Amino acid sequence: MTGRILVVDDVRANVRLLEARLSAEYFDVRSAASGAEALSVIASWPCDIVLLDVMMPGMDGFEVCRRIKSDPRTAHIPVVMITALDRTDDRIRGLRVGADEFLTKPVNDLALVARVKNLVSLKRVTDELRLRAQTGSQFGLVPEDGPSPDAEGRVLLVDDCASSSRTLFDILRQDCRVERESDGAQALITAAERGYETIVVNLGLKRYDALRLVSQVRALERTRLVPIILIADADDSARMMRALELGVNDCILRPVERTELVLRLRTQIARKRANDRLASDVEQTIAMATTDPLTGLRNRHYLKSHLARLVRQAGETELPLSVLMIDIDRFKSINDTHGHDAGDAVLKEVAGRLRANVRGLDMACRLGGEEFVILMPETTLSAAEKVAERLRDVVAGAPFALPEGEGWDLPVTVSVGVATHAKAGDSGEKLIKRADRALYRAKEEGRNRVVCCAESRVGPDTEDTTPRAPSHAGKRARAG
């Protein structure tokens, strides 16, 4: 994992220590020596997380955090306060201005890296939703209203210790609608069936592994975005760090302070509702305007707008971006021989196989006719080539069903062109053009193969296309 980290501290020695530790984990680290400088850097540099000292001359960390969280353009950026202040009142003050976490000096290296990786990973989910929602807004479409900010949150408490469960329940029910579950296996079923906005889990479950429950919640489609707050003992730091790696959103140490728990819970519920609104915008509001009705994939119009944003993002962050251009081989002969119903069935099945075999971060689109495009953020050329080869094999590996009960005996193959974003001045049109040229070479070389376009950087339109195909591809192509 990589990410962009801003370290804010007026003591240069503290900055150097954090820079060294985070750089060793391959994070891109920048620093600011004051609150004003930090706000200036954030405005021009899209960071993933802010590590913020509290005690600074002029503008202190509390005020910097308040300004970050009150600006809609930066409110989604996680803020971790690193401070020598360890009183409960200080944590509550930080939580009130929007801080996501507190680390006490001297900072434990393992705890720092675990929390930073966790927050960066969680932010990526929100970033992707925000990016797609921004694409949808270009069509003039508005998401449905979500729950009122003052509406009671729906919370599931998972705790098999009677005294602990009773204490936590009494705290939570003053602000939320709370349901209790003492059995971990049943809690997973309940969470999948009902729309909770946060799950609070006792790390010290006696009859079920709490970490396994966290992993299972994250694995289910219906619950993977539900925030999880872990209640833990201070001496269980190793399991807490493992929980962060598994995707827990927040951890609270015992003894639990009521106000702190309530504030952290409100933060998670607010974030869940914001993400739900973004997801609604993406999946419902713009669906009809941006979805290909036959295959259910994003259509050409959405592809153009979203690719432009991804290219701009790749230029700003210097992260890789790759594109696959996929074409069904000899598709005209399928229509001519078996009819257009068969052609439509093949298009839908190819789309389904593509969609089922790419990451959630990737996006499969139908460009038109028998051509498909897959956008792959944060993916290098070599990694995209491997994915392309896997997709080619997924399509060719099993015959396709024909309508009207004609059987599962129609062999279908695809050719794939692969290209990657070259530099900051590159455009989505040029990227698609290079992938299309590579696809044309794949067709020329015999179909049912992958050709990779390696950007030479001599010029924006200069490429070296080299066919890549498995040893059996030629035989398949001749047979098809």
Enzyme catalytic residues: 370
Is residue 248 within 8 Å of 219, Cβ to Cβ? no
Is residue 452 within 8 Å of 479, Cβ to Cβ? no
Q: Strands across the sheet with 176-181, in order?
A: 176-181, 153-158, 198-202, 228-232, 250-253
Which amino acid makes up residue 330? R
Is residue 464 within 8 Å of 451, Cβ to Cβ? no
Positive or negative, the Cα torsion across 333, 336, 338, 339?
positive
Is residue 23 within 8 Å of 48, Cβ to Cβ? no
**C-alpha pair distances (Å), 39 with each of 91, 98, 135, 209, 246:** 22, 15, 27, 42, 31
Give the integer Cα–Cα distance in Å for 63 and 79: 12
Give the integer Cα–Cα distance in Å for 349 and 370: 12
Is residue 133 within 8 Å of 281, Cβ to Cβ? yes
Distance from first CA to last CA of the chain, Å, rounded?
41
Give the integer Cα–Cα distance in Å for 180 and 183: 9
Nearest Cα residue to 1 out of 383, 378, 361: 378
Please state, as a whole number, how many other Cβ atoms lie within 10 Å of the Cβ of residue 446: 18
List the structure tokens of 306.
Answer: 């979203």
Give the integer Cα–Cα distance in Å for 434 and 94: 50
Give the integer Cα–Cα distance in Å for 451 and 347: 22
Pairing of β 101-104 and β 49-53: unpaired
Give the integer Cα–Cα distance in Å for 412 and 212: 41
Give the integer Cα–Cα distance in Å for 251 and 271: 16
Is residue 123 within 8 Å of 77, Cβ to Cβ? yes
Pairing of β 450-455 and β 463-468: antiparallel
Please state, as a whole number, how many other Cβ atoms lie within 10 Å of the Cβ of residue 200: 28
Q: Give 419's DSSP letter.
A: E
